[in-house]
């Protein structure tokens, strides 16, 4: 597929989201490619007691340990800084501690003031209106009056210092050091549809409540409503350039969301049987033009209760992993899904998944009801 667009943005993190939103009113065709996915609030570690353990697995700060399908390996062995990154809509704003300071005016003149690096070609005053707009969009909480900055007024009051913060402040007062409560992107009051922080859990690995601001819940809803197109699971493997050395486009690899995807056509129904799955073909589809996707609930018929391993397409796998291999990928997406029984095979029930687009719960339930209503008796194999 060869798409022509007016503006191509690679990455949907803080910068990509802000640029997409700021250009949306131009009515140009704007496309953003993101190799990650939308992250559902229900998937964040703060929903469970194992949140600390998950900081070393699927929400680790290092993608080598995290090893999500949308991650890529990095080597930071020679770097003094271990960067926290995340591949998904919102980028690294998903995984950060909500610390949100502005640059100081002196940061723009490090060559003049400190004799290092280079001065910026612009100054703080030039960027101040954009700092303020970003504070408003992201929802910054803080305390006005910091003498280290020109006057500024955060949209929300600051987070409470707590006992440890008050002790640090007292110590710095005694030392004669300047200190000030940091600006954060944690909501201290209800703000733009986001509820205030209730200390649900650690801020870094995403906020299930949405009190911690991230680009996926601030900039992107506005940009998408204004007509910006965001394609997830789209990994850019090459930026093409013209004879003048300027970028002309990008070559993209679409990441699969499951081993197989099948489509709903009229009232036809895929019967997910062991024989049918053994012979299935892998089909790439663009779900944006579909009402629903259909897939088997499990890749095999129900095994004996004592079975510890199953054979799926010639591969031995643990029973739990095998039975979840069809349903788990779709549960990680941002759209609704439901499984319904559609008949029997060898006296055992066969299930069908119905997967819909985001916010299409009504369509999913209607399709599921129709599929379940047509089921009856022995399930049949369909190509």
Provide the pLDDT for residue 289: 61
pLDDT tier for residue 256 given thresholds of 50, 70 and 90: low
Cα distances (angstroms) measured from residue 364 to each of 285, 327, 345, 368, 376: 18, 15, 24, 6, 20
Q: CA-CA distance, 313 to 294, in Å (whole number)?
A: 20
Residue 68 sits at φ, ψ, to 5 deg, of -75, 155
Q: For residues 154 and 143, what is the distance between their CA atoms, to the nearest angstrom?
A: 7
Q: What is the pLDDT of residue 335?
A: 75
pLDDT band at residue 332 under the 50/70/90 scheme: low
Q: Is pLDDT above 80 for 260?
A: no
Q: Is 262 helix (H, G, I), strand (E, B) or coil?
A: strand
The 10s digit of each residue's pLDDT in 270-305 is 223 223 333 333 444 445 567 788 888 888 888 888
pLDDT of residue 280: 35
At 128-171, the pLDDT tens digits run 999 999 999 999 999 999 999 999 999 999 999 999 999 999 99
pLDDT exceeds cutoff 50 at 268:
no
Q: Return the domain boundaries, the chain.
A: 7-225, 262-373
Contact at 8 Å (CB) between 143 and 181?
yes
Backbone angles phi, psi at 79, to 5 degrees: -100, 135
pLDDT higher for 30 or 370? Answer: 30
Q: Give the span between the Cα atoms of 44 and 332, in whole angstroms.
A: 11
13 — pLDDT class (breaks 50, 70, 90): very high
Judged against a pLDDT cut of 80, whether residue 58 lies above it is answered with yes
| pLDDT greater than 70 at residue 377 | no
pLDDT at residue 41 in the model: 87
The pLDDT of residue 262: 32
Q: Is 212 helix (H, G, I), strand (E, B) or coil?
A: strand
pLDDT at 259: 34
Q: Are 270 and 295 in contact (CB under 8 A)?
A: yes
For 114, phi then psi, to 5°, come to: -120, -10
Question: What is the rounded distance in angstroms from the CA atom of residue 86 to the CA atom of residue 324?
Answer: 25
- What separation in angstroms does the CA of 19 have from each of 7, 9, 16, 63, 265? 10, 8, 5, 26, 38
Mean pLDDT of 204-221: 93
pLDDT at 339 over 70: yes
Q: How do residues 84-111 score in pLDDT, each as one tens digit?
A: 889 999 999 999 999 999 999 999 999 9
């Amino acid at each position: 597929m060869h798409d022509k667009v007016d503006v191509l943005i690679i990455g949907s993190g803080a910068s990509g989201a802000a640029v997409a939103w700021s250009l949306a009113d131009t009515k140009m065709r704007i496309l953003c490619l993101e190799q990650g996915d939308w992250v559902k609030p229900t998937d964040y570690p703060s929903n469970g007691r194992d949140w600390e353990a998950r900081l070393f697995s699927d929400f680790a700060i290092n993608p080598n340990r995290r090893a999500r399908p949308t991650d890529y390996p990095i080597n930071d062995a020679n770097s003094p800084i271990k960067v926290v990154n995340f591949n998904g809509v919102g980028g690294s704003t998903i995984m950060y501690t909500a610390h949100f300071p502005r640059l100081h005016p002196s940061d723009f003149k490090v060559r003049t003031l400190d004799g290092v690096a280079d001065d910026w070609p612009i100054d703080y005053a030039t960027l101040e209106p954009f700092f303020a707009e970003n504070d408003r969009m992201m929802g910054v909480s803080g305390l006005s009056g910091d003498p280290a900055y020109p006057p500024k007024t955060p949209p929300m009051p600051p987070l409470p210092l707590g006992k440890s913060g008050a002790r640090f402040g007292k110590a710095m007062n005694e030392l004669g050091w300047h200190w000030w409560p940091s600006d954060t992107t944690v909501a201290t009051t209800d703000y733009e549809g986001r509820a205030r922080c209730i200390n649900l859990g650690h801020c870094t690995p995403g906020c299930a409540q949405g009190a911690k601001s991230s680009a996926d819940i601030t900039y992107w809803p506005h940009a998408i409503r204004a007509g910006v197109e965001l394609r997830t699971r789209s990994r850019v493997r090459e930026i093409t350039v013209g004879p003048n050395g300027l970028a002309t486009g990008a070559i993209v690899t679409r990441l699969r969301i499951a081993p197989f995807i099948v489509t709903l056509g009229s009232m036809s129904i895929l019967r997910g049987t062991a024989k049918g799955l053994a012979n299935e073909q892998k089909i790439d589809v663009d779900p944006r033009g579909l009402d629903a996707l259909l897939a088997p609930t499990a890749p095999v018929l129900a095994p004996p209760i004592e079975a510890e391993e199953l054979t799926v397409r010639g591969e031995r796998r643990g029973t739990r992993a095998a039975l979840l291999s069809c349903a788990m990928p779709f549960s990680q997406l941002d759209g609704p899904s439901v499984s319904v029984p559609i008949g029997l095979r060898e006296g055992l029930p066969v299930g069908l998944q119905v997967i819909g687009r985001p916010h299409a719960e009504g369509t999913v339930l209607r399709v599921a009801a129709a599929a379940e209503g047509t089921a009856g008796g022995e399930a049949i194999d369909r190509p």
